[in-house]
A and B are shown apart, each in its own frame.
Chain A
């Protein structure tokens, strides 16, 4: 800290030159701030340059030292955001990239070191320029407000030679020059396209992956080191996740870093002896270079020989290394597209079976509820089966059929009133009369009469007509 002001003698100049001074002493110097880049993303390192330009010749002739400590540039600059900036973190200087500061001046009440920059010419005046460079890291989206920097210096228009103190200013004037305030827009990182593996790294980064060995046993750790370098928020992102690295279990992780690099060391344990390499490792980061995009840095795979396990003698060299865990190609030979008719057939089959079962059961139930009908159908079947056989008794068969249909004993069928009874059962008179006549003839033929002998086919046709007529009556 500069304790107190003190006048010091500056190199002598010709007094006559004072008349040639510019009208405004404020134009003897300027202060400004520049930001690189002009707009940025959250977490994108930002370079702020506090630039102080001064008319070197004029300063050499007229500037008055205001502080006890000797300064290369006798000015005081005030820019609080060099120390603290709302919404951003102040980063340490990058000595590898930034040139070494060489010019001393006072800034924010303490000694600052600035770096010479290229001269600037404004309004015909040539200014020597020094810069105070500060790196900041925006931590939130919005705006970074940089207050106007102020530059203060003292000059004298004439000096007196003093035997005791040498050259002393005869008239001191202090000038304060204000620069322009700056606002820097800080954009949020885009949500669209943000990969799952992104852990917050922003910048132009490089990845280097190494392993500490090329052979390891199953269950023993191999140290894989990820070294990330470049211009970015090196100290502010989370470690890349290697949980999904196939064939390895992440046992632990350590990390270290400095201003120019960040190093992660993973203890990876191979899970089986089939591994032949550490697979490529991806490191996702956001590259703010226009237009700004998420990019992956992918390492090459690292050859690794994994032996059987702790205490094992390793793979048998005569049989070669164990095969990789590929599936036999026959597995999973199933169609993923089924033909519609196949789907319909399989899905319809249970319903068809159920429908058939239901129909069969209904038929059985109906038969069970109609013993007379069953008796009649049995008689008809017996008639149709036996009527043509030699030696059969068509009269008995027809009698049984009619008895079943009339629901009476067979003996009750044979009689003169058969036609009337059939008519009463709903059979049309002609058919009833024909049936009675045929039955009478068959009965007579049983006892030797040749008049009643009937053609078996005609009798069968008659029985079928009768059965149809009875069925129609029952259905009605």
Chain B
């Protein structure tokens, strides 16, 4: 049995030491950018993104960076916002996102996700705060100040948990308008009258979905827009 364990460990270590999946594509994208071909780099990263089971924040950021250099600002903003869900405190991402939003004039739209933490981090924080608060309250002879502090921690933990549950289960998803001529219509039908026009890069809140259409809420106005015209920030 011992030799089997040693062999298995060897295989695992060999795999761990080899190139990570997508490293070659990443290097190709870097090369294309180095050569001043951001469109080619974006194409490589788009392929990498399509093959990824779960996109990483860095991959989305890189793709947004390439698209921004090609002038596809709405697409760049969409990928930056998706990246922000995964890297909420990254200063480079925040800088690029702010710059693109300013250029698009879309700083004021709804924001997807949580402002400073990832959902996993908020979950861990909520559990930790609740655990500390409960432990403090269950001390055998707690001092009043300690009891107040414990109660405060417990309350914070409960609020954090509630915020997480709301964001994960109740909040409407947010999408970025990608099409140049997206129009809000009164019904999910291309022949329905248009009630407004959406600019590329604007963010809308998705309140319903029907057969290739989404009901989007934008600036106190709700209407139907083709689902292909927007990209969900997820």
- Point out residues on A near B: beta carbons under 8 Å: 193-197, 244, 246, 276-277, 279-280, 282, 298, 301, 303, 320-321, 323-338, 340, 342-343, 346-347, 349-351, 353-354, 357-358, 361
Within 8 A of A (CB), among B140-190: 157, 161, 164-165, 168-169
Is A358 within 8 A of B138, CB to CB?
A: yes
> Considering the chains assembled together, what is the distance between the CA atoms of A288 and B71 in angstroms?
24
- Given A246-B68, A298-B71, does the pair A333, B54 have CB atoms closer than 8 Å? yes
Chain B binding surface, main DSSP class: helix
- Given A195-B105, A282-B103, does the pair A347, B168 have CB atoms closer than 8 Å? no
Chain A min CB distance to B92 (Å): 7
Is A193 within 8 A of B199, CB to CB?
A: yes
For the A-B complex with A246-B69, A336-B119 known, give 7 more contacts whose Cβ atoms are closer than 8 Å: A280-B71, A333-B54, A333-B56, A335-B54, A335-B120, A336-B118, A349-B131
B94 proximal to A (CB < 8 A): no
- Given A332-B83, A347-B127, does the pair A326, B36 have CB atoms closer than 8 Å? no
Is A329 within 8 A of B103, CB to CB?
A: no
Q: In the complex, which residue of chain B has the Cβ closest to the Cβ of A347?
A: B161
**Please, which residues of chain A bring their CB within 8 A of the CB of B59?**
329, 332
Q: Which of B22, B35, B92, B104 contacts A329 (CB 8 A)?
A: B22
Q: Which bucket holds chain B's interface residue count?
A: 35 or more
Q: Which of A244, A333, A346 contacts B124 (CB 8 A)?
A: A346
Name 22 A/B residue pairs within 8 A (Cβ), A-sorted. Answer: A193-B197, A196-B104, A276-B34, A279-B68, A282-B103, A324-B33, A326-B26, A326-B33, A327-B62, A328-B26, A329-B23, A329-B59, A332-B56, A332-B57, A334-B119, A338-B168, A343-B164, A346-B126, A347-B127, A350-B130, A351-B134, A361-B138
Chain B min CB distance to A450 (Å): 56
Chain B min CB distance to A332 (Å): 2
Chain A min CB distance to B82 (Å): 8
**Please, which residues of chain A bring their CB within 8 A of the CB of B102?**
196-197, 244
Chain B min CB distance to A287 (Å): 15
> Considering the chains assembled together, what is the distance between the CA atoms of A347 and B113 in angstroms?
19
**Please, which residues of chain A bring their CB within 8 A of the CB of B26?**
326, 328-329
B43 proximal to A (CB < 8 A): no
> Considering the chains assembled together, what is the distance between the CA atoms of A216 and B21 in angstroms?
37
Chain A binding surface, main DSSP class: loop
Is A301 within 8 A of B69, CB to CB?
A: yes
> Considering the chains assembled together, what is the distance between the CA atoms of A338 and B167 in angstroms?
10
Within 8 A of A (CB), among B80-111: 83, 85-87, 90, 92, 96, 99, 102-105, 107
Chain B min CB distance to A333 (Å): 4
Q: In the complex, which residue of chain A has the Cβ closest to the Cβ of B112?
A: A336
Is B92 within 8 A of A351, CB to CB?
A: no
> Considering the chains assembled together, what is the distance between the CA atoms of A321 and B90 in angstroms?
25
- Given A196-B104, A329-B26, A347-B130, does the pair A336, B85 have CB atoms closer than 8 Å? yes
- Given A196-B103, A246-B96, A354-B138, does the pair A330, B58 have CB atoms closer than 8 Å? yes
Q: In the complex, which residue of chain B has the Cβ closest to the Cβ of A339?
A: B168
Is A350 within 8 A of B131, CB to CB?
A: yes
Q: Which of B22, B23, B34, B124 contacts A324 (CB 8 A)?
A: B34
> Considering the chains assembled together, what is the distance between the CA atoms of A197 and B20 in angstroms?
41
> Considering the chains assembled together, what is the distance between the CA atoms of A347 and B120 in angstroms?
12
Is B61 within 8 A of A327, CB to CB?
A: yes
Chain B min CB distance to A79 (Å): 42
Q: In the complex, which residue of chain B has the Cβ closest to the Cβ of A323?
A: B30
**Please, which residues of chain A bring their CB within 8 A of the CB of B169?**
340
B123 proximal to A (CB < 8 A): yes
Q: Which of A326, A336, A353 contacts B86 (CB 8 A)?
A: A336
Chain B min CB distance to A437 (Å): 48
Chain B min CB distance to A255 (Å): 21
Q: Which 4 A-B pairs have the closest CB atoms?
A: A332-B57, A327-B58, A196-B105, A332-B86
Is B134 within 8 A of A244, CB to CB?
A: no
> Considering the chains assembled together, what is the distance between the CA atoms of A295 and B90 in angstroms?
32
Chain B min CB distance to A308 (Å): 15
Q: Which of A279, A303, A326, A353 contacts B62 (CB 8 A)?
A: A326
**Please, which residues of chain A bring their CB within 8 A of the CB of B164?**
338, 343
B65 proximal to A (CB < 8 A): yes
B77 proximal to A (CB < 8 A): no
Q: In the complex, which residue of chain B has the Cβ closest to the Cβ of A300?
A: B71
> Considering the chains assembled together, what is the distance between the CA atoms of A336 and B61 in angstroms?
15
Q: Which of A246, A324, A350, A357 contacts B30 (CB 8 A)?
A: A324
- Given A326-B65, A329-B58, does the pair A334, B120 have CB atoms closer than 8 Å? yes
**Please, which residues of chain A bring their CB within 8 A of the CB of B87?**
331-332
> Considering the chains assembled together, what is the distance between the CA atoms of A329 and B29 in angstroms?
11
Is B107 within 8 A of A346, CB to CB?
A: no
Q: In the complex, which residue of chain A has the Cβ closest to the Cβ of B122?
A: A338
Is A349 within 8 A of B99, CB to CB?
A: no
- Given A329-B22, A334-B118, A336-B113, does the pair A347, B123 have CB atoms closer than 8 Å? yes
> Considering the chains assembled together, what is the distance between the CA atoms of A137 and B167 in angstroms?
52
Q: In the complex, which residue of chain A has the Cβ closest to the Cβ of B70?
A: A280
Is A343 within 8 A of B123, CB to CB?
A: yes
Q: Which of B57, B69, B119, B130 contacts A351 (CB 8 A)?
A: B130
Within 8 A of A (CB), among B9-41: 20, 22-23, 26, 29-30, 33-36
Q: In the complex, which residue of chain A has the Cβ closest to the Cβ of B86?
A: A332
Chain B min CB distance to A61 (Å): 62
Within 8 A of A (CB), among B39-54: 48, 54
Is A335 within 8 A of B119, CB to CB?
A: yes
Q: Which of B36, B96, B135, B138 contacts A276 (CB 8 A)?
A: B36
Q: In the complex, which residue of chain B has the Cβ closest to the Cβ of A298?
A: B71
Chain A min CB distance to B218 (Å): 12
Is B123 within 8 A of A338, CB to CB?
A: yes
Is B119 within 8 A of A338, CB to CB?
A: yes
Is B168 within 8 A of A331, CB to CB?
A: no
Is A326 within 8 A of B120, CB to CB?
A: no
**Please, which residues of chain B bring their CB within 8 A of the CB of A328?**
26, 58
Is A196 within 8 A of B107, CB to CB?
A: yes
- Given A197-B103, A338-B119, does the pair A349, B127 have CB atoms closer than 8 Å? yes
Is B120 within 8 A of A338, CB to CB?
A: yes
Is B138 within 8 A of A330, CB to CB?
A: no
> Considering the chains assembled together, what is the distance between the CA atoms of A223 and B131 in angstroms?
59
**Please, which residues of chain B bring their CB within 8 A of the CB of A324?**
30, 33-34
Chain B min CB distance to A464 (Å): 35
